[in-house]
Amino acid sequence: MSEQVDATIKPIIGGIAWSTMTKGARNPSRLVKFFRRHPEIAWGGLLLMIVTLLSIFAPLLGTVDPRALSTGNRLKAPSPEHWFGTDMLGRDLYSRVLYGGRISLSIGVSAAALSAFFGTAFGLLSAFGALLDGVIMRIMDGIMSIPAILLAIALMAVAGASIENVVFAVTIVEAPRVARLIRGVVLSLRDQPYVEAAIAAGSSMPKIILRHLLPGIVGPLIVQATFVWATAMILEAALSFIGAGTPPSIPSWGNIMSDGKALWQVKPFLIFIPAAFLSVTLLAVNLLGDGLRDLLDPRMSKRG
C-alpha cells in the first residue's frame, strides 16, 4: 500500500520542491527578495515543505511499521522510545502520524488536481456553449446546494470505503466551485478588447482558448486549487473521523484521530498530535493560497 502511495505522491511533491530549490540555487538574492515581499508564500511553502519531507522520508526518520501491533505497549505516553506515545493497540503514534501524512497529502493533491481539471473543462464548456451554459450551471448549482460533507458521505455510502473513492467524492464536491469560477473569469476575459480583436481577426476557437484565455485562467485556477487542496484534506479527515472515509486499516490523519476519539479524555495526545499536524498543514496550504492570491490574482486580493 505504502509503495502505491509513494508512486503517486513523490513525483508531484518532489517536482515542486525540486523546482523551488533549483530556482533558489540559481538566483538566491532574487528569491530572498521575493519571499520578503510575499511572506505568506515563504512561510506557507516552508511549513508545507517540512510536513511533506517528513512524510516522504518517514522510513528514514526512526519510524517503525505504522501498523505493527504491540499489545504490551498499549497507550504509552510520549517518551524517548515512542516520541508521540502509542495507541490502544500499541501502535507507534509517531510512525502513524508521519506515514499518515503521505495519505492525507496525496489525497489533497490528487483531489485538487482532478477538481482543477474537470472544473476548468466544464467552466470553459459553459462559457462557450450557449445552450450548454444553462444546463451545466443548473447542475453545478444543484450540486453546490448539497452541503459538501453530506454529499461526500452519501457518495462514500454507495461507493464503499477506499482512498480512490475519497478523492472521487471530493472531486465531485469541489469541481463545480472551480467550474463556476473559471466560467466567470472566461466570461469577463471574453469581453476584453484583445480577445474581441482576436475573434475579429479570425483566430480559431482552440487558438483563442489556448493563447488568449488560458494565461488569464491560470492564476485564479492555481489559487482556487490551493484552497481545494485544503478543503480536500479537511473532508478526508472529517469523513474518516466519522467512519465514512479512508478504510480504517490505512493510517490517514483522519483515521488516527478516529481511533483516538474513544479515549481522548484519558489520553488527549491520541487526538491532539495528529490534529496538530493536520492543522499546521492546513495553515501552510491556506497561507500559500492567500500569498498566491495576492501574487497571481490582484482582483481577488483581500488587501483590496
- Chain residues in the site for another protein (CB under 8 A): 138-139, 141-151, 153-160, 230, 234, 237-238, 241-244, 257, 261, 264-265, 268, 271-272, 275, 278-280, 282-283, 286-287, 290, 302, 304
CB of 302 to another protein, least distance (A): 7
Neighbours of 70 (CB within 10 A): 14
Question: Closest CB to another protein among 5 and 275?
Answer: 275
Residues whose CB is less than 8 angstroms from the CB of residue 46 and which lie 6 or more positions away in sequence, other chains included: 284
Alpha carbon distance 199, 243 (integer Å): 52
Rounded to the nearest whole angstrom, what is the least distance from the CB of residue 90 to another protein in the complex?
Answer: 23
Residue with Cβ nearer another protein (259 or 290): 290
Task: Give the CA count within 13 Å in the CB-facing half-sphere of 102.
Answer: 23
- Residue 283 beta carbon to another protein: minimum distance, rounded to whole angstroms: 4
Q: Is 13 or 239 the residue whose CB approaches another protein more closely? A: 239
Output the smallest distance, CB 21 to another protein, in A: 26
Nearer to another protein, 145 or 204 (CB): 145
Residues 216 and 247 sit within 8 Å (Cβ to Cβ): no
CB of 178 to another protein, least distance (A): 16
- The whole-angstrom separation of Cα 252 and Cα 233 is 10
Asked if 5 and 102 count as a contact pair (C-beta separation under 8 A), the reply is yes
Nearer CB in complex with another protein: 12/300: 300
Residue 92 pairs in a beta bridge with: 86
**Who's near 9: CB < 8 A, 6+ residues apart?**
55, 56, 102, 105, 106, 109
